[in-house]
Amino acid sequence: MPLLPSPPYRPAFPFRSGHLQTVYAARLRRAEGPAYRRERIDTPDGDFLDLDWTTVGASRVAVVSHGLEGNSGRTYVRGMARALNLAGWDVLAWNYRGCSGTPNRTLRLYHSGATDDLDTVLRHALSAGRYATAALVGFSLGGNLTLKYLGERGTGLDPRLRRAVAFSTPCDLAAASAEISKPHNWIYTRYFLTSLRDKVRQKAVQFPDHIDLTRLKHIRTLFDFDDAFTAPIHGFDGAADYYRRCSSKAFLDGIHIPTLLVNAADDSFLPAACYPVEEARNHAYLHLEIPDFGGHVGFVGRNGKETYWSEVRAAAFLGTV
């Protein structure tokens, strides 16, 4: 039954507000995360990726992908890493290009469809031969990467990759971009655009002949930013083309390993198009859960302090391998 019933997640007051869940989990949570061991690897195109490991000597590894303008240090990543360590998983939390605190070498940054970098990370994790089993966990943009990666490769995945979980995933990028630009989400748009503008300014110092900073004055929405910078830098014909080609919703039919998608009903970032009910209804591998609460990458535990529901849910789903 891939279309799962609403799970029995009911947080305590006041965390029945999606906005409060989103803000609290992102800005106020204090996750006593594990100590990371950093490793830098080269990419096939001459760039690098910074990976953060936390290991318990397990024979299985989970690769965790963060959200837009996030990194491995975000509390939702650290909380998940800690929970999976306790459940008997080694964890590799990777940082996208330009997200590890060090500017990357090339003009290219990261985007919602850059599954080649996820493939590089997974291949590296499995290359030493220590792991019999692997899993993927993705949040928001990282959830889209995860689902797109699985769907693109279909039956061609490494057989050691057995399960995946995606939380708060904008699987229809065009619809999600339009939703986050609505007035009730202005504070989130402002936060993301501030960070993205800074990143483009930094990139312009490295590549002054390729970045036109005068376009920044016209940026009001994420669509504007993607149209002016994300799309042309990464070879897309504008934001609409980028969204069309990189939305994981178009790749869901190709998923061939058990995969859990959890999008909360009160996630203000996600419009109806990001809840692929019909796609999941008769899907052999895609399991869709829509809890009533959770916000965007929230899923707060009781009193906001203990292990979050998303961490418990991911460990349980992955534990059935």
Query: Catalytic: 17?
Result: no
CA dist 218 and 100 (Å) reads 28
Which residues touch 77 (CB under 8 Å, ≥6 apart)? 33, 64, 66, 70, 71, 93, 139
Of 153, 147, 164, 211, which Cα lies nearest the Cα of 321?
164
Question: Of residues 226, 267, 268, 310, which has the active-site annotation?
Answer: 267
CA atoms within 13 A on the CB side of 251: 26
Peptide bond between residue 14 and the one before it cis (omega within 30 degrees of 0): yes
Counting other chains too, the contacts that 281-284 makes at CB distance below 8 Å and 24 or more residues apart are 281/2, 281/3, 282/2, 283/2, 283/252, 283/253, 283/255, 284/2
Q: Phi/psi at 105 (nearest 5 deg)?
A: -80, -30
Residue 19 burial (C-beta neighbours within 10 Å; 0-12, 13-18, 19+): middle
Question: Of residues 65, 140, 248, 310, which has the active-site annotation?
Answer: 140
Secondary structure string (H, E, C) spanning 86-112: HCCCEEEEEECCCCCCCCCCCCCCCCC
CA dist 105 and 40 (Å) reads 13
Question: Of residues 100, 112, 227, 296, which has the active-site annotation?
Answer: 296
Report CA 132 to chain centroid distance, whole Å: 24
Of 229, 258, 232, which Cα lies nearest the Cα of 321?
258
Query: Catalytic: 296?
Result: yes
Query: Catalytic: 234?
Result: no
Could you count the other beta carbons within 10 Å of the beta carbon of residue 31? 21
Catalytic residues: 140, 267, 296
